[in-house]
A and B are shown apart, each in its own frame.
Chain A
């Protein structure tokens, strides 16, 4: 890797607004060679995407200003190009794919047209472009490519859309592909296939690749070299193996130690008392259909004969990809939707027959923490009002005079300060907001807390802190958790027992150790293998297998 394809040096970008100047990146340098994959790793707010956007000329000015630096490519500084010169390079020599392919594809044009457009912009004739578009879709392994050229972006799945984006990006065999969080919104099994595809295309064409990601597992799996970014600066860089094995910077060490899935399996200590028992849960949804047609209305099963037990004080992990039915299961457990068949018993009584006082008691004992802490806190209420609301709903739990002290006590328990009670949700970070949501869930001294993807939206380092808090609270209050997640390593660290769901069915159930060390169902095996692991050595083993 002697020659360099693109070298970014001393790049600084700032965004100027009426409120002042935000320095998005400062003196950032990195380079990438042909055939090499460079990962730019960082958490939210680290400025990891900014330098790539600068290279592509995608920074809107105003408010963005490039204040220093060069980006040398083929003897030219990309930051000094005119609009026309820039358009000659973009899409042809350097191309880019993005995180959310649905938003990044134009919704009103067929996908075939959008691929052809890239070719036609750079001088390929229409007829040739049409032929190439089909070849490209076949190359990215889109099923039935020929029939689907005329389809629109909304008619594809998330993984397929990313394949279409990739086809567009590699259409003119670029020297360099920049991939900005290309697999973040995708299921792990789909992510694995997309990453494989990118590697394969790279092997065939010898292009360089810059992969921007927050996921250490993805870095370990596909990158050759990595630069770690924090607060707009590069804190560390080098070969992936070196950085991951011997991190030099404290931040890198912190990131690596925060990655879930490294701890020993939890010691299972099952108490005999069964809190919740689900028996044969079925939930059917009517598919939109033409009511003028005669015949049975088609239905889809979001839950298909799901049964399980939750014991007092345990953590029950429920894992599954999108469409597995885990969200429907959560809604059913919370009594937000009625199952088509089956029942959920809370301490022996069917929760759907609960009324009045008994229902209130059930509501009190089962609390919930949702995925998006921003959405789950009312933005117009102060933290005091949010955390004390359960007491307002359940009169008699705590006299009004003690609310203030009660809220402060809860805030301290979740690692916040008493004076935070007077603030509003938007004054907190994502992790802090999730702590507030946990404080609210604790207010009624519940027996069970349902965590619906409760840490999925958080950065890895924050994730680890929140999980530690949940564990601590479990020890202190003897809580049982139902922990619904798509992230397997997280579940591996936190759960005592695990349910694996796929297409509405429960495919496997067992202790965490049984599921992770000796998975039986082929789907579980695929899920575990697809989940990227930040240990480069583990990865080698996986690739050979």
Chain B
């Protein structure tokens, strides 16, 4: 804190275990490392891909209509084949990556913020407010989220913002319940009671003691949820109530390719592969996160780092 005031303080070794230890653990888990690298590549492609591609993937090329994959003489972009208008699939996958990831990210963030906030209230305050929150969650949970989303989207129209909001609403209960359960457990831990007994304000107790303990669980949950929301958006788009033209996501691409299934399987196949790969990577990463943030496991790691004492 006030290190400038006290001479010699800077020279003292401060343990900064978690970040380095977690990276070390990531290096040890080959699958998680591969997943992380793949996700970074996909995100980079989504960020810088569309401007670099220019017209590739948008301009029609009637010579290459439904061209099959793996025909190198058509050029690199046609390596995964082309769609009914001759547009290379690979380029279209890169263009679609941005809306696909953005919709999922926005929905995950929105549901996380709302869910964690309500979960903190329901867990820390409890009482009637907590009961009402839990009952509302029950209502949302008692019905298949996809059907609920379909009903709502049809009523309000399938705009991208509506898709995001609907996906967020159907996923709020997951964060809410997790946060509430964690808060209830952490609240009864002795160090929280010790702070309360010393006179700590609610804000201090929550922000200093409870929230930092909930963060790892929520981070793990968010990675799984990202995968789930991506699949849900793809399903909605597949059923025609998600993203609408001219925008398109991987889910839309699978749906559009369905009518050419018997003649040009690659139209549906490749975008689906990308959905599966990103989902799989997220699941692998969340598995790793769960281990890396598990107190017992981290404990061992931190002891390794601190064992020079």
Residues of A within 8 A of B (CB): 19, 334-336, 359-360, 363-364, 366-368, 370-372, 375-382, 384, 389-390, 392-394, 400-401, 403-405, 419, 422-424, 426-427, 437, 440, 444
**B290 interface hit (Cβ, 8 Å):** no
Q: CB within 8 A of A378: which of B5, B209, B302, B306?
A: B209
Name the interface residues of B272-309: CB closer than 8 Å to any CB of A.
Answer: 295, 299-300, 302-304, 306, 309
Q: What number of A-B contacts does a CB cutoff of 8 Å give? A: 86
Determine if B199 and A423 form an interchain contact, defined as CB atoms under 8 angstroms apart: no
Give the interface residue-count category, chain B: 35 or more
Determine if B190 and A336 form an interchain contact, defined as CB atoms under 8 angstroms apart: no
Interface centre among B6, B190, B199, B299 (most CB of A within 10 A): B190
Using CB atoms, name the residue of chain B closest to A446.
Answer: B198
Determine if A440 and B9 form an interchain contact, defined as CB atoms under 8 angstroms apart: no
Interface string of B189-200 (1 = CB under 8 A from A): 111011111111
B220 to chain A, nearest CB (A): 16
Determine if A363 and B1 form an interchain contact, defined as CB atoms under 8 angstroms apart: no
Q: CB within 8 A of B12: which of A19, A389, A422, A444?
A: A422
Measured CA separation A423–B2 after assembly (Å): 16
**B15 interface hit (Cβ, 8 Å):** yes
Interface centre among B13, B193, B209 (most CB of A within 10 A): B193
Can you spell out 21 A-B residue pairs with CB atoms less than 8 angstroms apart? Answer: A19-B304, A336-B197, A368-B194, A368-B197, A370-B190, A375-B189, A376-B194, A377-B191, A378-B208, A380-B213, A381-B208, A382-B14, A384-B1, A400-B2, A404-B9, A405-B6, A423-B306, A424-B302, A427-B15, A427-B309, A444-B198
Using CB atoms, name the residue of chain A closest to B215.
Answer: A380
Residues of B within 8 A of A (CB): 1-2, 5-6, 9, 12-15, 17, 189-191, 193-201, 204, 208-209, 212-213, 295, 299-300, 302-304, 306, 309
> A372-B190, A404-B2, A422-B12 are known contacts. Are A380 and B212 too (CB-CB below 8 A)?
yes
Determine if A393 and B6 form an interchain contact, defined as CB atoms under 8 angstroms apart: no
Measured CA separation A334–B197 after assembly (Å): 7
Determine if B303 and A426 form an interchain contact, defined as CB atoms under 8 angstroms apart: yes
> Which A residues are in CB contact (< 8 Å) with B197?
334-336, 363, 366-368
Q: CB within 8 A of A424: which of B15, B191, B194?
A: B15
B291 to chain A, nearest CB (A): 14
Determine if B199 and A422 form an interchain contact, defined as CB atoms under 8 angstroms apart: no
> Which A residues are in CB contact (< 8 Å) with B193?
334, 336, 370, 376
Measured CA separation A308–B209 after assembly (Å): 34
Measured CA separation A393–B204 after assembly (Å): 8
Measured CA separation A377–B192 after assembly (Å): 9
B69 to chain A, nearest CB (A): 44
A434 to chain B, nearest CB (A): 12
Determine if B198 and A390 form an interchain contact, defined as CB atoms under 8 angstroms apart: yes
